[in-house]
C-alpha cells in the first residue's frame, strides 16, 4: 500500500493535553535506588481478565482518514500480517493491579519518585502538593502524592473505582506486572489490529461515524470546551468502568478513549517506512515508548488521537492520570 508521507497538523504534538506529559516536563526528582521489584515470570492464572482471541490475518496499518497529526508517523499506509493472539478484553483494572501489588509489594515509579501528572479538574490535593506545570500545557499538574491508589492526589482514593482502569503506571511498571502475570504488552501492530475489530481502514473501532453520531456516545472522550469545561455528556469527567459503551467486533471494550494504553514498541515517526510486512515489533531502540487509543481528555477541536491509527509516546518512566494498559498472551 502507498500513501503520501505528509502529516496534517491536528493541533498538538507529543506531550499534548490529551496525550501524556513526560516526567521531565515537571521537576527533576531522583528515584530511590532501593525501589522494590519483582523477580521472574509468574503463572498465567494470576491474570484473570477475559480474553479476546484475535484471528491471524492481514490489515492496512496507518491513517486512512486524513486526520493524522503532524510528526506522529501515521503514514505511509502499509499492509501488516499477524499471527493469531489473545488480548485482554478490557484494560487492566485497579482491582487487577491491586492483586499484583498485594502479592509482590511492588512500588510504582509514581510512588518511588513521589509524584505523578494529574489533570487540573481531577486534582484532589492541597495547593502545596503541586510541584510544577508544563509551560505549554498548564492544565497538567505534577502532584506530590499522586499515584495509582490516589489518582487525583493525596485527598483521593480508589473508592468505587475497582473496575476502572489503573492509571499512574509507567511503562516500566506495566512491564513488572507482565513479568508477574506471565503476560506481555501488545506490539503496536497487534494493538491496532485488535482495536479495529475486523473493520479494515476504518477510523474508529465501530466504523467511520463520529463518537456521538445518533446522539449516543460510543467512547469516553472530552465534551465541551477544553480544558476548562466538560459537559459530561458521556457521563464521565475522568475514567469510566472498563466495560462501558459497546465492545468492538473482536470483543475489546474501549480500545479508544478512556485511557491511553502502553504498547511494547519504541517510538520512531519514520518506522512505517521500513516496517517489516509480518509481525513487526518496532524499532530496536529509542527514547520513548508507544501509547495508543487516546483518553478521556481527547477532543476533536485541538487533538483527535482517539482514532484506531493515532499514535502517542512518552518516556518509559513517565506516569499520568490518563494512561493504563492491557496485555496479551506470551
**CATH number of the domain where residue 188 is located:** 3.90.1580.10
- Classify residue 263: in a domain, yes or no: yes
pLDDT in tens for each of the 330 residues of the chain? 544 444 433 334 334 545 667 877 775 443 333 333 333 333 368 999 999 999 999 999 999 999 998 899 999 999 999 999 999 999 999 999 999 999 999 999 999 999 999 999 999 999 999 999 998 899 999 999 999 999 999 999 999 999 999 999 999 999 999 999 999 999 999 999 999 999 999 999 999 999 999 999 999 999 999 999 999 999 999 999 999 999 999 999 999 999 999 999 999 999 999 999 999 999 999 999 999 999 999 988 877 899 999 999 999 999 999 999 999 999
- Classify residue 1: in a domain, yes or no: no
- Classify residue 6: in a domain, yes or no: no
- Classify residue 169: in a domain, yes or no: yes
Closest CA to 85 of 275, 252, 266: 252
Q: Is the pTM of this model over 0.85?
A: yes
- Classify residue 154: in a domain, yes or no: yes
- Classify residue 221: in a domain, yes or no: yes
When divided into structural domains, the chain yields a total of 1
- Find the domain containing 44 and state its range: 23-329
- Classify residue 11: in a domain, yes or no: no
- Classify residue 2: in a domain, yes or no: no
Amino acid at each position: 500500500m502507498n500513501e503520501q508521507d505528509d502529516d496534517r497538523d491536528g493541533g498538538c504534538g507529543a506531550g499534548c493535553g490529551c496525550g501524556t506529559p513526560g516526567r521531565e516536563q515537571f521537576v527533576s526528582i531522583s528515584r530511590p535506588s532501593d525501589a522494590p521489584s519483582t523477580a521472574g515470570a509468574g503463572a498465567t492464572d494470576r491474570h484473570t481478565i477475559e480474553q479476546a482471541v484475535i484471528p491471524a490475518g492481514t490489515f492496512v496499518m496507518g491513517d486512512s482518514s486524513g486526520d493524522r497529526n503532524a510528526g506522529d508517523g501515521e503514514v505511509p499506509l502499509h499492509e501488516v500480517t499477524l499471527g493469531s493472539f489473545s488480548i485482554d478484553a478490557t484494560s487492566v483494572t485497579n482491582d487487577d493491579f491491586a492483586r499484583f501489588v498485594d502479592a509482590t509489594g511492588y512500588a510504582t515509579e509514581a510512588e518511588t519518585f513521589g509524584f505523578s501528572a494529574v489533570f487540573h479538574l481531577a486534582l484532589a490535593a492541597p495547593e502545596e502538593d503541586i510541584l510544577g506545570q508544563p509551560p505549554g500545557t498548564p492544565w497538567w499538574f505534577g502532584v506530590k502524592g499522586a499515584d495509582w491508589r490516589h489518582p487525583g492526589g493525596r485527598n483521593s482514593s480508589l473508592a468505587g473505582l475497582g473496575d476502572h482502569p489503573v492509571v499512574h503506571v509507567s511503562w516500566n511498571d506495566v512491564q513488572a506486572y507482565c513479568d508477574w502475570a506471565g503476560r506481555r504488552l501488545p506490539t503496536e501492530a497487534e494493538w491496532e489490529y485488535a482495536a479495529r475489530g475486523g473493520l479494515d481502514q476504518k477510523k474508529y473501532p465501530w466504523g467511520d461515524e463520529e463518537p456521538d453520531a445518533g446522539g449516543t456516545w460510543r467512547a469516553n472522550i472530552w465534551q465541551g470546551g477544553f480544558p476548562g469545561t466538560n459537559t459530561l455528556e458521556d457521563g464521565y469527567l475522568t475514567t469510566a468502568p472498563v466495560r462501558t459503551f459497546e465492545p468492538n467486533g473482536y470483543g475489546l471494550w474501549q480500545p479508544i478513549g478512556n485511557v491511553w494504553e502502553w504498547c511494547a514498541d519504541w517510538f520512531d515517526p519514520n518506522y512505517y517506512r521500513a516496517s517489516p510486512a509480518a509481525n513487526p515489533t518496532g524499532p530496536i531502540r529509542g527514547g520513548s515508548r508507544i501509547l495508543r487509543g487516546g483518553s478521556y481528555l481527547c477532543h476533536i477541536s485541538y487533538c483527535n488521537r482517539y482514532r484506531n491509527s493515532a499514535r502517542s509516546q512518552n518516556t518509559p518512566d513517565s506516569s499520568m492520570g490518563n494512561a493504563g494498559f492491557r496485555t496479551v498472551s506470551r
